[in-house]
Structure 1
Amino acid sequence: MKNTPTYQNKPWYRFPWPWMLMAGPFIVIVAGVVTAYLAIRSNDGLVDEDYYKQGLAINQTTAHIQNAIRLGLRAELQQNDDGTRIRILLHGNPSTVLPEVLKLRLAHPTRAGVDQNLIMRADGAGSYSGKLSGRLDHRWHVTLEDEKSEWRLVGDWMVVNDKSLQLPVELNAALSTYSSDKGR
């Protein structure tokens, strides 16, 4: 009796080893298609569509920040304990007339979908308050300006570490914060 292997005449697709060899490249192709779909369908939120216009507006923004410095404006932002409201204490030179309404923009550095634009109403004596649409945590770019956009205060707020934020009145600090905000 002879021990010779008996091979059956089966087609190639009936053997398991070709399928195991093809499984790796097939999985890579499917993962590539899914990745391409997600890249096309989702917005990264980091690039503004009107970046050229924003670049042209830097001189105007510098003038707004310089106007805030000239008026001696300083602001302190505070979030209440449950994170539903924000309060601003605004101070200026003795001759500075404080507005009745402030515009506050809270921009997240990487997720544009959670940005908040608030209208802050005066409570009296330089105090303003407004309601937040969501709790602030982590880092935020803050822009505070009057209703007519004649002056602007900007800064970065690391809410996890700081329960309040003092907005800068130094031009260099304000401009560096503004430029980092526009890069998002």
Structure 2
Amino acid sequence: MTMRDKSAWYKHPWPWILMAGPGLVIVAGVVTVWLAVVSNDGLVTDDYYKQGLAVNQRMHRDHQASALGLHADLMRSDGKVRLLLGAAAEVSLPETLVVKLAHPTRAGQDQLVEMKAEGQGFYSGQLLADVGGRWVISIEDPAGQWRLQGEWVADSGEPLRLETKLEK
């Protein structure tokens, strides 16, 4: 017998090297299960069925904005949002508007900005936090009769033009 045969198996490096792969897989699986349990699925809503049923009601507001010929230019500067609202027909513009800024992936960053009229279709409001990147914008009248929607890249420096052109 050689000296090597007399030593215990755990004193050799090869069994440990061979067990390292499956051991790492087990540790990675435990970490993955832990992350799945403790993390928040921010994109999943609890009332997705009710939201699906309300699509027709929201589409009615888009059709109403189209019928009125509404269009808006949205821009930001120094923590403020400015809006120029116009219409193809003679429409009485409201004193206030609601602008919803929804982040596509982080619901915690969404903002609701109340815009006050400054005259001749101009509105302004204060942002709660600075915005950057891509946003889904929704402009609504306080009565909920019409809505303009679009996507905005806030970092582009260009104003966002919102128009509703729906086919009937």
Query: Could you state the TM-score of these two structures normalised by the residue count of structure 1?
Result: 0.81
In the alignment, structure 2 segments of 5+ residues that lack a partner are: none
Matched, 1:36 2:43: no
- SS of the aligned residue for 2:14 comes to helix
RMSD, aligned α-carbons: 1.9
The whole-number CA distance in structure 2 between the counterparts of 1:43 and 1:163 is 34
- What is the aligned partner in structure 1 of residue 132 from structure 2? 137
Deviation at 1:5, TM superposition (A): 2.9
Q: What does 1:1-184 align with in structure 2 at a 5 Å threshold?
A: 5-7=2-4, 9-80=6-77, 82=78, 84-161=79-156, 163-171=158-166
Structure 1 residues 76-108: Cα deviation after superposition (integer angstroms, max 9, x where no partner): 10011x4x1111111124531111111111111
Paired AA for residue 136 in structure 1: V
In the alignment, structure 1 segments of 5+ residues that lack a partner are: 173-184
- SS of the aligned residue for 2:114 comes to strand
Paired AA for residue 85 in structure 2: L
Paired AA for residue 116 in structure 2: R
The whole-number CA distance in structure 2 between the counterparts of 1:39 and 1:101 is 43
Bigger mean CA deviation after superposition, 155-164 or 25-34: 155-164
The whole-number CA distance in structure 1 between the counterparts of 2:32 and 2:4 is 43
Deviation at 1:18, TM superposition (A): 1.7
Is 2:150–2:162's contact at 8 Å kept on the other side of the alignment? yes
Query: Could you state the TM-score of these two structures normalised by the residue count of structure 2?
Result: 0.88
- Number of aligned pairs? 167
Structure 1 residues 9-41: Cα deviation after superposition (integer angstroms, max 9, x where no partner): 333223322222211211111112112221222
The whole-number CA distance in structure 2 between the counterparts of 1:42 and 1:102 is 36
The whole-number CA distance in structure 2 between the counterparts of 1:162 and 1:56 is 36
Is 1:79–1:163's contact at 8 Å kept on the other side of the alignment? no
State, as a whole percentage, how many aligned pairs show the same letter: 49
